[in-house]
Structure 1
Amino acid sequence: MNSSTEPVPRPRVTARLRALRFDAGSLALNLVATLGRRSSTPVERLGTLDRLREWCDGVGLRLHDEAVTDELLTELWTLREAAYDVVAAVVESRPPSAASVVLLNDRASPAPPRSLLRATGTGVTVDGGDRPLSGRELQSAVVRDLIAVLGDPERRGALRRCDASLCTMVYLDHTPGRRRRWCSMRLCGNNAKAAKHRLRQASAASAGS
């Protein structure tokens, strides 16, 4: 059979691939990372309300119990795609969709709760910043984080996309010289090393046959 007509096997989706990522470098980028393998067959990591709760725990935010709804999950998916469009535009040096910018600016309000100082008889405590959030306050926190990243020249310049063709996760690279190629050396970096090793073995076997 001609190799061009042979079916291409679909990459295996493992539990590790479905795991939530909290290593993108910011709250907003961690939300963007809840959809994996955008360049091929997308892997949804935020597909259920339990996953939403797990994600909130992972990023250190709390939602009101009544805010954990399918409606919020759908809104977060929409927000995620707008955020991805904007950060990808920065990485690719192109303008983002006007609709993405409008949506993000709309979701930037209402303001999330502020932490305030309160004097006590023994010193000072911090109040107010840890109360459970509404769905819109959660979205506002994500957008405001994205704005903070893009508004900081150093962090904006640190935006990178994973070199792995199946991954393309966007993250902040704070390594010296900003030479980081992979979203994670343990994940995509090791996969790339293994693929190169297999290619060398195949080439050596071909040359010896």
Structure 2
Amino acid sequence: MDSSTEQVARVRVTAGLRALRFDGGSLALNLVASLARRGSTPIERLGTLDRLREWCDGVGLRLRDEAVTDGLHTELRTLREAAYDVVAAAVHGRAPAAASIALLNERARPAPPQPLLRATGAGVEVDGADRPLTGRELQSVVVRDLIAVLGDPERRGALRACDSSLCTMIYLDLTPGRRRRWCSMRLCGNSAKAAKHRRRRAAAEGSRGDR
């Protein structure tokens, strides 16, 4: 993508760019994706407590009402950046910061809720599966998901960064052949195709003008 195209894209912040993403391929990657355009001027998608609630709804997690606080909001964004450091390190073959590893391990320690089976007269029910989470339980669930991704050779090997230099969103590519280049063909893929078409048209017009 040429510099002029990227410069225009940097200043256009649409509702679509601010929308939460739930297509990273895992719970933890969906959290990482709540900060957009890391490759240029970052766009915060998790900027308010209402957006935090919306994110929880989108990933199918319930928080206790009293857990939705500014403190949790800050902690979750700090966790997000540590998670990004670790998955980006896995993608690019570098070592993550020791502080990121330490923070993630610390946030993973609180035990998440454990659903249990309960016998009833009609059979078996599951108790506790839908119990709302505390803030630290929520963070533990996210970090344990991240650990599960990194601990699975297939999924770890499927981590990719979007080819768009403006985006760089990290996602799991589980397509056959793992040839997916974009976080979303509808978003970054189509933008790249449109930019390529503009460059070709400009080059063709320049060539005609030189005759």
Gaps of 5+ in 2: none
Q: CA deviation at 1:60?
A: 0.2
In the TM superposition, 1:184-203 aligns within 5 A as 184-203=184-203
- Equivalences for residues 160-175 of structure 1 within 5 A: 160-175=160-175
TM-score by length of 1: 0.95
**Any stretches of 5+ residues in structure 1 without a counterpart?**
none
Mapped to 2, the partners of 1:200 and 1:59 lie a distance apart of 41
Q: Quick one: distance in 2 between partners of 1:49 and 1:173? A: 30
- Please give the per-residue CA displacement for 1:70-92, whole angstroms capped at 9, x wherever unaligned: 11000011100000000000001
Asked whether the 8 Å contact 1:62–1:133 carries over to 2, the reply is: yes
* Superposed CA offset, 1:2-52 (max 9, x none): xx9xxx554300000000000000000000000011121100000000000
1:136 aligned residue: 136
Residue aligning to 1:39 = 39
1:93 aligns with: 93
Aligned-residue sequence identity (percent) comes to: 79
User: Structure 1 segments of 4 or more deviating over 2 A?
Assistant: 8-11
Report how far residue 207 of structure 1 moved: 1.0
Cα displacement string for residues 122-158 of structure 1 (whole angstroms, at most 9, x for unaligned residues) = 1222111210000000000000000000000000000
Is the CA contact 1:116–1:126 (under 8 Å) kept in the aligned structure 2? yes
SS at match of 1:75: helix
Counterparts of 1:72 and 1:202, CA distance in 2: 49
Higher relative contact order (Cα pairs below 8 Å, separated by 6+ residues): 2
Counterpart Cα distance in 1 of 2:166 and 2:68: 31
Task: Give the TM-score taking structure 2 as reference length.
Answer: 0.94
RMSD: 1.2
Quick one: which amino acid aligns to residue 60 of structure 1?
A: G
Matched, 1:205 2:205: yes
* Counterparts of 1:35 and 1:65, CA distance in 2: 24
Matched, 1:106 2:84: no
